[in-house]
Structure 1
Amino acid sequence: MKPLVRNASLSGYVELSRSLGIDPRALLRQVGLDPVGLTMQDRWISGAAVIRLLELSAAAAHREDFGLLLAERRRFSNLGPISLVLREETDVRSALAFLLRYEHMYNEMLHNRLSEADGLATLKLGLELTGPVAARQAVELAVGAFHQLLREFLGARWQPLTVCFTHPAPADPASHRRFFGPVVEFDQEFNGIVFYSGDLDVPNAMSDPLLHTYARQYFESIAVSRDTSEADRVRELIGALLPTGRCSVEQVAASLGVDRRTVHRHLAASGETFSSLLNATRMELAQQLVANPRRSLTDVSGLLGFSAPSAFSRWFRERFGCSAREWRARQASDACPE
């Protein structure tokens, strides 16, 4: 299936679009993205759809710097759980190495590389594209986001030696000069940032040595392999979509940037069906949620995507052989010491 990105890649998109006088909801629907689901930062969506959205938005707003304006709104938290580790890394080198190692945890389209030679460090940014598609805005968003990240570590006055783009210069490069300084160059051989290698050894002022090991251990416990299976992708999307009440194979397919038949075909290859994954995910979540006495069963019903508590009650009894209330009581009884 096509590479995915986290919803957080579009953080600030709605606000930026409205400030430029364009309708973000209409543009999101045009590329097959759910405007409501965009608020779920950890949900995965089609990377190809995001690239097309950025190009359409730039054209609608008549702003060649749309991707760059979006990059200005980037924050550490947009990276998700990995941001907790980056804040505690000892220096810029270890933070960048960690970020590049786990880039698939926040954007499967990114393929970045850091190299050093003759006292210079070069961060080259690549995007996995399917065919010759326009991706100027996505490239500038990615380069701008990394520039913002480096400034978080090195200070607001830090400036790279060169910021490179393979595409031509915009008609008006004022925003690029303001954002990167006079070092931005176009029609270059790669997209990326060149700076002094010594910058990599600058200590991270945000780091707390006591939290460094803990942050790493926490992240390693939730990290997923770059070789995540298609079934794992669908399972994760089901978990994210269930509370919205719109968990269907069509919604999952839209998030993956494919049609429903493709989803069914990939799942069949691994011996699964959409229904089997839906039920397995629901059962796993149901056990966690019902066991928590602080959650009402009505709330649990909604979080599992049921339209009414009665439907949840019937489903639960069919799967567990008793009512949710009885199951909760048994769990509480088993947890009590004799």
Structure 2
Amino acid sequence: MEFFAGRARQLLIFDDGYLIFDDMDPFIRTTSFAGFRELVDSLGGDHALLLERFRIKPELIDEEDARVPLRSLVGLLESAAQELDCPDFGLRMAEYQNLQVLGPIAVIARNAVTAGHALAEIVRFIGYHSSGVQLDLDRSEPQAPRLLIGLRLPGLMQQRQMVELAMGVAHNTMKLLYGTSFKAHSVLLAGVSPLPLARYRRYFQTEVYTGQACNALILTNQQLDQRIEQQDPTLHRTLVRYLSQFNLQASSDVVEQVQRLVLRMLPTQQCRLPLIAEQLGLHVRMLQRRLEEQGCKFEELVEAIRRDRADAYLAERDIPLAQIAGMLGYSEQSVFNRACRRWFAMTPNERRRLLREQRAKER
């Protein structure tokens, strides 16, 4: 790895030499491939051929500090699930993983005071593990804290297997932090899945709801307040200082903070600038000024997020248009219809057909 002015560029060696990808391209540490070989081989596949197809050398996944483009892992999981006729591939792979795939972030978490403190630290430093994985510990509902999980990956790639892998790992992480008796209050999954609900309930051992506006583990305050035994405060402080020097905390960027809050608040139909500013502890004018310094306006950010999420929801065949309108923060479907014509010069149904055709061609 080479470092330039505090920013990292990863050099990946392929057959044709070096591929350099900038840190603006979402990456992920190869520890997230844990279990891939074993699972593929158990299903009768050839893990080496699958890895080579996505230009990932098999030996690379044994290197703890190696990084690859996130879209390579996302595409790899989708291809493996389809070719091996294993629609729950992501969940099965999650059974091989837990908090330890996060490397030094795992050590920080295991030496935090409580499970909630540990989750906050994971959210804070997740950028070290992957610049494309989005985590947020939402405590805006006092009796129902949520660990939100998503991907920052432009385009219309299928992402279900990777999302379910991440959700499974988050569940396993809580088992390590809280104890083997951990069970989320409930689990939310965005989109519509071909898997029966019983499969998710069997994995998470709790109620699961699909077709939601986000992916999340709904927790309890008791679970977050659970103290972690045998923590080492000195080791915790040392590693926090070490990771902080790379400035990898995603929430340090006001634009990303606003984006995360917008995603959280859109389905409540309360996504307004004053409320966002209040959440950030800023005066409305101060927030506007900070956004302008980044070349952004609040209304433009909301519009861009709505357009992006509209495509993600419309690509799922079975989510009703009225439900999509609500998840985007619109009180009426007619408002969503007008927005769709403004964004894409077509109706929601026409856009849905186009997206389905595009996905079919990619397979």
- Aligning the two structures, in what range does the TM-score lie when normalised by the shorter sequence? 0.5 to 0.7
Report the Cα offset of residue 120 of structure 1. Answer: 1.1
Partner SS, residue 187 of structure 1: strand
- Does residue 203 (structure 1) correspond to residue 224 (structure 2)? The answer is no
Q: Give the match for residue 56 of structure 1.
A: 79
Report the Cα offset of residue 76 of structure 1. Answer: 3.1
Residues of 2 paired with 1:202 and 1:38: CA distance? 34
The answer to whether the 8 Å contact 1:3/1:109 transfers is yes
Match of residue 112, structure 2, among 68, 84, 89: 89
Aligned length: 225
- Does residue 213 (structure 1) correspond to residue 234 (structure 2)? The answer is yes
Q: Give the match for residue 137 of structure 1.
A: 161
Report the Cα offset of residue 185 of structure 1. Answer: 1.6
Partner SS, residue 186 of structure 1: strand
Q: Give the match for residue 148 of structure 2.
A: 124
Report the Cα offset of residue 219 of structure 1. Answer: 4.1
Partner SS, residue 125 of structure 1: strand
Residues of 1 paired with 2:135 and 2:187: CA distance? 15
Residues of 2 paired with 1:60 and 1:172: CA distance? 20
Query: Structure 2: where are the runs of 5+ without partners?
Result: 1-23, 251-363
Report the Cα offset of residue 175 of structure 1. Answer: 3.3
Residues of 2 paired with 1:203 and 1:121: CA distance? 17
Partner SS, residue 145 of structure 2: strand
Residues of 1 paired with 2:85 and 2:54: CA distance? 19
Report the Cα offset of residue 51 of structure 1. Answer: 0.3
Larger RCO (CA under 8 A, 6+ residues apart):
1
Report the Cα offset of residue 20 of structure 1. Answer: 1.1
Partner SS, residue 111 of structure 1: strand
Greater radius of gyration (CA): 1
Report the Cα offset of residue 140 of structure 1. Answer: 0.3
- Does residue 170 (structure 1) correspond to residue 194 (structure 2)? The answer is yes
- Within 5 A, what are the aligned runs for 1:298-313? none
* Residue deviations 1:8-47 (CA, integer Å, cap 9, x gap): 0111111111111111111111111111211112101110
Match of residue 188, structure 1, among 205, 208, 212: 212
- Does residue 79 (structure 1) correspond to residue 134 (structure 2)? The answer is no
Q: Give the match for residue 104 of structure 1.
A: 127
The answer to whether the 8 Å contact 2:197/2:208 transfers is no
- Fraction of identical pairs, as percent: 28
- Within 5 A, what are the aligned runs for 1:1-338? 1-116=24-139, 117-205=141-229, 207-208=230-231, 211-223=232-244, 224-226=246-248
In structure 2, the CA distance between the partners of 1:226 and 1:118, relative to structure 1 (3 Å rule), is closer
Residues of 1 paired with 2:28 and 2:69: CA distance? 6
Report the Cα offset of residue 226 of structure 1. Answer: 2.4
Q: Give the match for residue 269 of structure 1.
A: none
* Residue identity opposite 2:193 in structure 1: A
The answer to whether the 8 Å contact 1:119/1:198 transfers is no
The answer to whether the 8 Å contact 2:184/2:218 transfers is yes
Residues of 2 paired with 1:12 and 1:219: CA distance? 28
Report the Cα offset of residue 173 of structure 1. Answer: 4.1
The answer to whether the 8 Å contact 2:183/2:206 transfers is no
